C-alpha cells in the first residue's frame, strides 16, 4: 500500500483537490490530509478502493459524486456531505451541516453527533443500490424531505426526541426514516405514516447499529433493545391532490 500525507494548512481548495487527484494517479491508496479548514469539494468524484483521512473541518460538498472510497473525518463538516454520492463510506467524528446525503444514491454515511436541516433530502435508490444515513445525535427540521429511497436512522443517543422539529419526511415517496425514541405527530411532514418498528425491521437495522457503534466505540447492546419508530410513505404520490389535470 502507498500512503501519502498532505498538509492543507492555508491551501486553497483547488490546489488541495489537485494534490489529492495527483496522489491517486500516482498509485496512493491511503491519503491523510492535515489542517483542513473549510476547503470545499474534497474527494468529489473520487473512485476506487482508497482510504482518505481528514483531520480538520472540511467545507461543503465533501465526497460529492464519490464512488468507492472510505473517507474518515476527525472533526465537523460543513453542508451537503455525500451530495449525490454513488458508493463508498463517510465516517464523521463530529457533526455535519445542512443537506447531508443530498440526493445520495448509494453508499453509507455515519455521523457520530448531529446533523442540520434537510438531511437526506431527495435520497434515492435503484436496483441494488440503497443509500444509508446513520446519525448518532439529533436532526434538525425537514429530515428526509422528498425522500425516494434508502434508509435514514437517527439514534438520538442523548435525546428522547431525535427530531423535535417539523416536516419530518415531508413529501416522502420511497425509503424509510427510523427514529430511536419518540416523535410528536405534529412534526410529521405531508405524506407520511408512522408505525412502531417490528421485529423484522429491527433485524434490518441491527447491522447498521453495530457498524455505527464500531466506528465510534459505543456499546450497541442497549440500542438493540430499544423502541424505534418507522416513518414511511403513505403513498407514492404524496402531493397528488395538488396537481392540475386538463
Q: pLDDT tens across 170-183, in order? A: 999 999 999 999 99
pLDDT at residue 244, as a whole number: 57
pLDDT at 1 (0 to 100):
82
The sign one gets for the Cα dihedral 211, 216, 221, 227 is: negative
Q: Which residues of the chain have pLDDT under 50?
A: none
Tell me, what's the pLDDT at 19? 98
Q: Quick one: pLDDT at residue 176?
A: 98
Cα–Cα distance measured from residue 84 to residue 63, given in angstroms and rounded to the nearest whole number:
9
Question: Domains plus CATH for the chain?
Answer: 95-238 (2.160.20.60)
Task: Give the Å distances, CA to CA, from 92 to 135, 154, 194.
Answer: 10, 14, 29
Quote the pTM value.
0.96
Amino acid at each position: 500500500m502507498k500512503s501519502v500525507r498532505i498538509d492543507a494548512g492555508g491551501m486553497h481548495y483547488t490546489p488541495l483537490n489537485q494534490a489529492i487527484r495527483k496522489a491517486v494517479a500516482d498509485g496512493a491508496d491511503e491519503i491523510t490530509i492535515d489542517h483542513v479548514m473549510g476547503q470545499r469539494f474534497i474527494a468529489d468524484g473520487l473512485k476506487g478502493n482508497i482510504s482518505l483521512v481528514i483531520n480538520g473541518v472540511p467545507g461543503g460538498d465533501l465526497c460529492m459524486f464519490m464512488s468507492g472510497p472510505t473517507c474518515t473525518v476527525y472533526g465537523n463538516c460543513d453542508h451537503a456531505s455525500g451530495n449525490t454520492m454513488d458508493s463508498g463510506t463517510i465516517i464523521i467524528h463530529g457533526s455535519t451541516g445542512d443537506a447531508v446525503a443530498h440526493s445520495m444514491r448509494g453508499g453509507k454515511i455515519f455521523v457520530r453527533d448531529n446533523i442540520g436541516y434537510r438531511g437526506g433530502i431527495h435520497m434515492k435508490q435503484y436496483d441494488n443500490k440503497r443509500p444509508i444515513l446513520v446519525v448518532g445525535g439529533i436532526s434538525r427540521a425537514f429530515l428526509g424531505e422528498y425522500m425516494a429511497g434508502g434508509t435514514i436512522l437517527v439514534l438520538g443517543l442523548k435525546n428522547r426526541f431525535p427530531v423535535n422539529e417539523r416536516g419530518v419526511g415531508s413529501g416522502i415517496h420511497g425509503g424509510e426514516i427510523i427514529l430511536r425514541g419518540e416523535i410528536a405527530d405534529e412534526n410529521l411532514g405531508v405524506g407520511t405514516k408512522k408505525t412502531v418498528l417490528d421485529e423484522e425491521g429491527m433485524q434490518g437495522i441491527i447491522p447498521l447499529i453495530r457498524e455505527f457503534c464500531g466506528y465510534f466505540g459505543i456499546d450497541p447492546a442497549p440500542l438493540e433493545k430499544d423502541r424505534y419508530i418507522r416513518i414511511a410513505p403513505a403513498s407514492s404520490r404524496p402531493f397528488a391532490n395538488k396537481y392540475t389535470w386538463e
